[in-house]
Structure 1
Amino acid sequence: MDEQDEHTDVHTDVGAYALGLLEEDDRRAFEAHLAGCAACRAELAGLAGVADALRDVRDERTGPGR
């Protein structure tokens, strides 16, 4: 696998990472990648508000009385 393929594979984890859905090993690998990848950091920053909104919706739908 070349460097571009590796980046593409890890890059697809941005959304799952933002939502806290990655398994421990994948989370660690993504965080290591994130430290050196400005593109992934920028995408993650752009997803921050979306991830928070989705968590709020989930909490409303699964909260007490549901």
Structure 2
Amino acid sequence: MDGVRRADELGRWPGSGLLVLASLADGAKHGYAITTNVAEQVGVTLGPGTLYAALASPPSTRAEA
């Protein structure tokens, strides 16, 4: 997998939720399709734990003070 990094190699990466949302902007997808889409678009492989954690708690829309 040349040029593809795993999300856990990037440390605690807060952007995983945004990557999932960006992938879903084109329409509904199952988990494998989301991880494949993210890997193709940005070169990061989301593991199942990262993916489903992002789906369970989407990014906050609240402004941080």
Q: TM-score, normalised by structure 1?
A: 0.35
Which structure has the highest strand share of the two? 2
Point out which structure has higher relative CO (alpha carbons under 8 A, 6+ apart). 2
Which structure has the highest helix share of the two? 1
Larger radius of gyration: 1
Q: TM-score, normalised by structure 2?
A: 0.35
